[in-house]
Amino acid sequence: MAIKPIMPQTFPYVSSVTLRSQHFEIGKFGESELRKKLPSPLYWIKPERKVLWNLHLVKDYLLNGDRPDHQRLIEQYLSSLPTSQKLGAS
């Protein structure tokens, strides 16, 4: 049985459809380009054959780019994860 990833409440994940239709006016091609540019599992995860996006990180990246403020937000997100869910933890 697979363990489902724990998603911190302060960093909600949304489906691809929600991301495209309610938050950004991008099509499937735009979403595909984001997946190529933004690394998983930091910005998106793929549980059970669907893509879920970390809404706050994606929004912040698209609005501000890879600036120091964005890096601090990434650090805040990583520190909010339980130890067993840290990226790169074994």
* pTM of the predicted structure, to 2 decimals: 0.73
Per-residue confidence (pLDDT) for residue 54, from 0 to 100: 92
Please tell me the distance from the alpha carbon of residue 61 to that of residue 27, in angstroms, as a whole number. Answer: 18
Strands in 44-45's sheet, in edge-to-edge order, are: 13-15, 52-54, 44-45
pLDDT tens per residue across span 31-86? 888 889 999 889 999 988 889 999 989 988 988 888 898 999 999 899 888 765 55
Q: Where are the domains of the chain?
A: 13-82
At 72, give phi and psi (nearest 5°).
-65, -40
Please tell me the distance from the alpha carbon of residue 30 to that of residue 21, in angstroms, as a whole number. Answer: 12
